[in-house]
């Protein structure tokens, strides 16, 4: 069996995991802010549960990466699914008892799953050849396409089917984690070999951060993910605040998540044809277009248009940056680099998530003004990522890695 046949088997498992376990992410992003607004003592804290989830992901990115480096991907993914189930159970208890504190604590534990899910893309690359690697990463990301449909539709079915709003949705998340975790038994990714005396240790974290390709990949991935989170976190509140219902908010999130993952069927091919840096640049440009559409009006089609562009821009920017990062890593520093990468990414996403609620609910005094501020805040970070990419382009090839 050649390397890529093993890689294709692993990709199939990870695609299924994205589709089943990954459905909890659009579910939670759809309802956590709305549920938080009913529990929070202050409306400015409505999106705090989403921020807590991202904090949980940030705090566990490095430990989970180290755990996978020593125990293997399968064990790490099991830990992530258990964390997601525990988080949903605590969140359900918080809803049932009306406790905002418990609800936020549950979101913190959900971050364990969010962190582990982030390593699906790296697991796809572990057994892939250099030629197949961009396609493997993009196909695994494409597994989120089904989750984009399943998650919000589950919200529609479960959000109001119990006396406590959204309680049924959190019980469904528990079921997704406990059932979907058994998919990982089919993974065939060798455990990393334990280091022996005299074996190469790879670059230190400081040396990795001084490597131009790695630095720019981290900046572009962080900006792509953080800006996507900044806008998506507030979008259900903005949709409902502009007079539309929860079903409309779920449909907007569905369209957004579809746009996040649908391009993955061809992103790898585009990277192979046009180059990683061009695809990242295209992603950043589309993210800017999403902000422009969002600021142009408050009709439902403006929300759909902005969130669809936001998803496509994230896909190009994030998958491109992930491919760029994996091209610069060495086997012995895989766990160190990937943990550092996701720590930085989710640190940026945490700040974006915190900022989203404050901008949306406490800037300008109205829903319309808050939504405008959320989208305007994208601009300086897009300039930062674009500038970093141009700087990398201008460097001689031999100095990049």
Domain tally for the chain?
A: 1
Contacts of 392 (CB under 8 A, 6+ apart): 212, 213, 216, 277, 400
Q: In whole numbers, what is the pLDDT of the chain averaged over residues?
A: 88
CATH number of the domain bearing residue 366: 1.20.1250.20
Structure confidence at residue 94 (pLDDT): 95
Structure confidence at residue 377 (pLDDT): 93
Which of 26, 12, 304, 40 has the alpha carbon at shortest distance from 151?
26
- Location of structure tokens 């160190």: 336
Which of 12, 42, 33, 40 has the alpha carbon at shortest distance from 139?
12
Contacts of 397 (CB under 8 A, 6+ apart): none
Structure confidence at residue 357 (pLDDT): 73
Higher-confidence position of 279 and 51: 279
Structure confidence at residue 134 (pLDDT): 80
The share of the chain scoring above pLDDT 90, in percent, equals 46
> What is the pLDDT confidence band of residue 198, given thresholds at 50, 70 and 90?
low
- Asked if the structure places residue 104 within a domain, the reply is yes
Where b means 16+ CB within 10 Å and e means fewer, 41-66 reads eeeebbbbbbbbbbbbbbbbbbebbe
Distance (Å, rounded) from C-alpha 54 to C-alpha 374?
A: 18
- Asked if the structure places residue 130 within a domain, the reply is yes
Reading the block at residue 146, the tokens are 């089904």
Structure confidence at residue 342 (pLDDT): 82
Give residue 289's domain range.
Answer: 3-189+204-399
pLDDT tens across 93-113, in order?
Answer: 999 999 999 999 999 999 999
Which of 327, 72, 338 has the alpha carbon at shortest distance from 193?
72
- Asked if the structure places residue 196 within a domain, the reply is no
- Location of structure tokens 């998958």: 319
Which of 392, 77, 350, 357 has the alpha carbon at shortest distance from 222?
350
- Asked if the structure places residue 142 within a domain, the reply is yes
Structure confidence at residue 206 (pLDDT): 87
Structure confidence at residue 146 (pLDDT): 80
Average of per-residue pLDDT across 318-327: 90
- Asked if the structure places residue 208 within a domain, the reply is yes
Distance (Å, rounded) from C-alpha 371 to C-alpha 284?
A: 20
Structure confidence at residue 30 (pLDDT): 80
Given a contact cutoff of 8 angstroms between Cβ atoms, the answer to whether 234 and 359 are in contact is yes
Q: Is residue 32 over pLDDT 80?
A: yes
Given a contact cutoff of 8 angstroms between Cβ atoms, the answer to whether 146 and 133 are in contact is no
Which of 311, 215, 334, 193 has the alpha carbon at shortest distance from 257?
311
* Angle (nearest 5°) at CA 191 between 186 and 196: 170
> What is the pLDDT confidence band of residue 196, given thresholds at 50, 70 and 90?
low
Average of per-residue pLDDT across 201-229: 90
Virtual CA dihedral for 188, 189, 191, 193, nearest 10 degrees?
120
Q: Is residue 308 over pLDDT 70?
A: yes
Structure confidence at residue 301 (pLDDT): 94
* Angle (nearest 5°) at CA 166 between 164 and 170: 115
> What is the pLDDT confidence band of residue 311, given thresholds at 50, 70 and 90?
very high
Reading the block at residue 2, the tokens are 């050649």
- Asked if the structure places residue 198 within a domain, the reply is no
Ordered DSSP codes for 239-270: HHHTT--HHHHHHHHHHHHHHHHTTHHHHHHH
- Asked if the structure places residue 195 within a domain, the reply is no
Supply the pTM of this predicted model.
0.75
Distance (Å, rounded) from C-alpha 389 to C-alpha 304?
A: 29
- Asked if the structure places residue 344 within a domain, the reply is yes
Average of per-residue pLDDT across 351-376: 83
Q: Is residue 1 over pLDDT 60?
A: no
Q: Is residue 194 over pLDDT 70?
A: no
């Amino acid at each position: 069996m050649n390397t890529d046949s093993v890689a294709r088997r692993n990709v199939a498992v990870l695609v299924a995991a994205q589709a089943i376990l990954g459905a909890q992410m659009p579910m939670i992003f759809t309802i956590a802010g709305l549920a938080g607004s009913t529990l929070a003592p202050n409306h400015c804290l409505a999106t705090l549960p989403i921020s807590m989830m991202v904090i949980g992901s940030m705090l566990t990115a490095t430990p989970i990466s180290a755990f996978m480096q020593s125990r293997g991907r399968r064990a790490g993914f099991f830990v992530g699914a258990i964390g997601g189930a525990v988080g949903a159970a605590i969140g359900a208890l918080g809803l049932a008892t009306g406790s905002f504190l418990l609800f936020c604590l549950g979101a913190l534990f959900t971050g364990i799953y969010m962190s582990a899910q982030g390593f699906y893309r790296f697991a796809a690359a572990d057994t892939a050849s250099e030629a197949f690697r961009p396609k493997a990463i993009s196909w695994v990301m494409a597994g989120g396409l089904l989750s984009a449909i399943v998650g919000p539709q589950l919200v529609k079915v479960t959000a109001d089917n119990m006396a406590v709003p959204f309680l049924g949705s959190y019980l469904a998340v528990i079921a997704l984690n406990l059932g979907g975790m058994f998919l990982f038994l089919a993974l065939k990714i060798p455990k990393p070999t334990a280091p022996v005396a005299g074996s190469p240790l790879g670059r230190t974290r400081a040396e990795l951060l001084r490597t131009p390709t790695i630095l720019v990949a981290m900046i572009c991935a962080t900006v792509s993910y953080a800006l996507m989170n900044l806008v998506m976190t507030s979008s259900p509140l903005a949709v409902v605040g502009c007079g539309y219902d929860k079903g409309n908010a779920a449909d907007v999130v569905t369209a957004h998540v579809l746009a996040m993952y649908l391009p993955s069927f061809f992103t790898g091919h585009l990277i192979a044809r046009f180059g990683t840096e061009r695809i990242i640049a295209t992603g950043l440009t589309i993210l800017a277009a999403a902000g422009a559409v969002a600021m142009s009006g408050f009709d439902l089609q403006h929300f759909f248009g902005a969130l669809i562009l936001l998803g496509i821009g994230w896909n190009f920017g994030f998958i491109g940056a992930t491919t760029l990062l994996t091209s610069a890593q060495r086997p012995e520093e895989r766990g160190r680099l990937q943990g550092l990468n996701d720590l930085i990414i989710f640190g940026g996403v945490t700040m974006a998530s915190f900022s989203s609620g404050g901008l949306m609910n406490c800037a300008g005094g109205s829903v319309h003004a808050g939504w405008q501020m959320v989208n305007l805040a994208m601009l300086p970070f897009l300039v930062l990522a674009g500038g970093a990419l141009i700087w990398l382009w201008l460097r001689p090839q031999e100095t990049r890695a």
